Each structure stands twice: as structure tokens, then as C-alpha cells.
A and B are shown apart, each in its own frame.
Chain A
Amino acid sequence: GESVGLHLPTLSVQEGDNSIINCAYSNSASDYFIWYKQESGKGPQFIIDIRSNMDKRQGQRVTVLLNKTVKHLSLQIAATQPGDSAVYFCAENPGFGDGTTLTVKP
């Protein structure tokens, strides 16, 4: 089937820096993408979504960018905090990518 995957399995940043997590997808017909955060031992938590008719969407401290030409998504987290440490997944309804573990160093 179609797949959604992530480029890097881990990312380590300093507290206060900006984080960028990338994701590639293979189904060019995909029209809806979601970013999730999962803390250890818990279910995923919705962060932000974007539809294919948009290139960018902003939330609180987070921005999602969609490049349909190269089938690429990114999640940008501004002023990363220790509480942002988690595994981040991009998802294309309803499948999940492999996840990137974000570690924020104080």
C-alpha cells in the first residue's frame, strides 16, 4: 500500500532552538496530513494538520509545510522546550509514518 515515512529516526536539539522534523509520503493523491506527538507509554496526541490545498499552516509554536511537488512535509517547532521531547509522527489518513524521536537538551 501507500506509505508515509520519515527521513530521520532521531533529532536532538538544545532548549530554545527551533526543531524541524521531516516526512516523505508516496501517495501523490493524498490530500490530508496530520502531525502527532507521542510521549512514552501514551497514545498519540494531535498537533496540527494540513490539507493539500495549502502549503503552510501555523499553530501555536508549530508550523507545518507541505511541498506537493516533492511529496514532503515538515513540522517546525519554535523555541523547543523539554516538554516537546517525544516521538513525532506524520500521518496520512489513517496510516502512520515511522516516527522521529525528538530529544530536547536543557
Chain B
Amino acid sequence: GAVVSQHPSWVICKSGTSVKIECRSLDFQATTMFWYRQFPKQSLMLMATSNEGSKATYEQGVEKDKFLINHASLTLSTLTVTSAHPEDSSFYICSTRSNTEAFFGQGTRLTVV
């Protein structure tokens, strides 16, 4: 079964509202969680790396105040898109790794209207 469970799989929200995406690791201690964004027909772009119990490290150009990441436990990491705008519409994916393999969530399709 899936090691990483990501919810919701899709969400539609109004411009200006906030959306929270959850990634839960199942039977696995996710010390590190990677958050990606993917636009249509493009590759995954790393947004940030979060480590359990500490602040996330954001990639250049990613606004940390807009994309809030919380990794308070070894089994749960969340990404909150604050004050969402249509340009934030994208496919968001979380990922964690073991020594031998990487595991991805199912992805969240966010549409901001």
C-alpha cells in the first residue's frame, strides 16, 4: 500500500482564501518531507524541504509566508496555501524518502477561482 497519503486529491477554492494540504506517512517515519509543485506538461519543481520539528527550507523564489509548511510530527506534514490566487492553481505533491526508495503522495489538484 501507499506509504504517503495526501489529501485532498483535488480542491477548488475562491481567490483570497487559504487551503491546507496534508501528507501523512503510513508505517514510516518521515523525518524529511519534500513539497513540489507541478504545472501542466512541466516537471516537478521543488518548493521546500521540511524536517520534523524544525522550520522548512524554501527554494529560491518560493514565498515562505504564502506557502506555510508545518512538519510537527514524523507522520504528518502540511502545506497551507494562504490567500490563494488563480496563479497558484497547480498540482502539489509531497514526497519522502527511505534509504532505498522515494515515496510520493497522490498529489493535490488546486484550482483557485
Complex contact B44–A41 (CB within 8 A)? no
Contact of A42 with B106 at beta-carbon distance under 8 Å, contacts A49-B101, A94-B34, A94-B49 already known? yes
Complex contact B104–A45 (CB within 8 A)? yes
Chain A: minimal CB distance from B85 (Å): 23
Complex contact A41–B101 (CB within 8 A)? no
Give the nearest-CB partner of A101 in chain B: B41
- Flag A27-43 by CB within 8 Å of B: 1 or 0 each: 00000001010000111
Give the nearest-CB partner of B59 in chain A: A1
CA distance A106 to B95 in the complex (A): 33
Complex contact B44–A44 (CB within 8 A)? yes
Number of residues from B at the complex interface, CB < 8 A? 21
Complex contact B109–A89 (CB within 8 A)? no
Complex contact A94–B46 (CB within 8 A)? yes
Residues of B within 8 A of A49 (CB): 100-101
CA distance A13 to B6 in the complex (A): 33
- Given A43-B95, A89-B43, A94-B97, 10 other A-B contacts at CB below 8 A? A42-B106, A43-B6, A44-B44, A46-B102, A46-B103, A94-B34, A96-B36, A96-B45, A97-B43, A98-B43
Q: Measuring CB to CB, which residues of chain B are less than 8 angstroms from any residue of chain A?
A: 6, 34, 36, 42-46, 49, 93, 95, 97, 100-107, 109
Q: Measuring CB to CB, which residues of chain A are less than 8 angstroms from any residue of chain B?
A: 34, 36, 41-46, 49, 89, 91, 93-99
Q: Can you list 7 A-B contacts (CB < 8 A)? A: A42-B106, A43-B106, A44-B93, A49-B101, A89-B43, A96-B46, A98-B42
The 8 A-B residue pairs with the shortest CB-CB distance, nearest first, are A43-B104, A43-B107, A96-B44, A96-B43, A44-B104, A43-B93, A98-B43, A99-B43
